[in-house]
Amino acid sequence: METPQNFIPLGGSLALQDVVRVARENVPVTLAEAARARIAASRAWVERVVARGEPMTYGINTGFGIFANVPVSAAQARELMRKLIVSHAVGVGEPLPQEVVRAAMLIRANALAQGFSGVRVEIVETLLEMLNRGVHPIIPAKGSVGASGDLAPLSHLALVLATDENDFDGESGEAIFQGERTSGKVAMQRAGIPRLILEAKEGLALNNGTAISTALVALAAHDAQNLIEHSALAVALTLEALRGASHAFDARIHDASRHRGQKEIAARVRELTRGSQLVDKAQRVQDAYSIRCAPQVVGAALDALQYAVARVEEELNAATDNPLIFVEGENGAALSGGNFHGEAVALASALLAIAVAEVGSISERRTFRMLDGKLNDGLPMMLIERGGINSGLMMAQVTAAALVSENKTLAHPDVLDSIPTSANQEDHVPMAANAARHLREIVWNTTHILAIELVTAAQAIDLRLRNQGKGDELLGDGTRRIFRRVRQDVPYLDTDRVLHHDLEKAAQLVRERALSHLGS
């Protein structure tokens, strides 16, 4: 059977961009035929174990966690699965955003489609139907330590998908369907999707994985890539505004460093400022680090991003529950391990959090320099005419400083803070979900920090051009187009006004990637 046109096939190699398209653009998903055979084979093995009552296999005919050695009969399999989901739905806090929920559903379905989880194909198909028809479970953001996977948040997801013989509305969780928040039972009924009674192993396969943490970091990594691109744009505009020294971006310097990211950022700034009549006009021997060393800092962040994305894409296609079922012909084995442990996700989140925080930190320093009349090469203090009666962009830099400071706190590596759980059976946990949530907040903060630099640089350039009685023809080929696009949404500041709206418009330009293609 061919994959329907415009559908993303599940069960093969899921890329970061696929997650973004499903999460944010509602691109539909289908299950690849090859995956169906793998799923069916592992499910058949589980059913044979249930029928025989042996061997003793974790989560199939035993309890969970500290109760791993407590036997459970085949007659109790459904009750065991239902109680697992109900007892583990203990998340707290505000609901995760819809895009994160969609990404998590996709990632969990893809993990099950690898064919190592022992579930029926109906489980995967139901997850995909929920995605394709727009049933979005309400999942509290907090409550996961990242091992054994994201148990609490994924249990809230499973409450909507699964039921029991009583089909009690009060234990069906909550979901959004067509903009309305209802019980999970009602949402599934309105969408025309039957809820399932979980059989042996299936509850554990649904909640024992890293899908929530991975969804958070995957979307954040995609956005971080955009921030790094916009950081190069901001550097170029600031270089123009301060008439900085271009030789710090000379390819020979960066080739000598051997760092790929550094070379890419320096090349991007050279491209953007090509043809500039402002750069080098101050005739300084060298600029401050926040300008001169921008390729080294932002380039290192780019290298960190590429490493993190590689780890995330591995996790997108991983089987992350426990035990895993390995079938060879009529034989097979259930092997208990720890693929649910989110260490790789937590470390990727930590690295990316530090990298993005650094991008924001050096951006704020450039904003500061442009606003200080002693450092900005002859421009007015706070980049405003009639200073004193006007405050100009003074408080915009204060906001940037507040966001940078918050990033420093959020970038503390959560992965270092293990707290044992489950009577010390789970004695080392990675706090992956916390790390990924904090990364997402750092990305949000840094979006606004860069927006503030772009607004500040545009104001400085305007003042520079007005002082010289010239137009934007003095700017480089790329920076001219970026300057003009910023000015479409954020006009020149001739007297004090409410800047909140300007900063939000600039942040939206960054989020929507409205500037990144203009310098090419």
Catalytic residues: 58
How does strand 331-335 pair with strand 324-328? antiparallel
3-state DSSP call for residue 118?
A: coil
Report residue 447: phi and psi, to 5°: -55, -45
Non-local (6+) Cβ contacts of 97 within 8 A are none
* Among candidate residues 257, 200, 222, 218, the one with its CA nearest the CA of residue 79: 200
* Among candidate residues 66, 47, 171, 191, the one with its CA nearest the CA of residue 129: 191
What is the rounded CA–CA span in Å between residue 458 and residue 45? 65
What is the rounded CA–CA span in Å between residue 157 and residue 175? 9
105-122 in b/e burial notation, b at 16+ Cβ within 10 A?
Answer: bbbbbbbbbbbbbbbbbe
> CB 205: neighbour CB atoms within 10 A?
31
What is the rounded CA–CA span in Å between residue 128 and residue 487? 43
CA 185 vs. chain centroid, Å, equals 29
Tokens of 202: 């299936």
Element (H or E) spanning 85, and its range? helix 77-88
* Among candidate residues 218, 194, 269, the one with its CA nearest the CA of residue 24: 218
What's the chain's Rg over C-alpha atoms? 27
> CB 32: neighbour CB atoms within 10 A?
17
Max Cα separation, the chain?
89
Report residue 270: phi and psi, to 5°: -60, -45
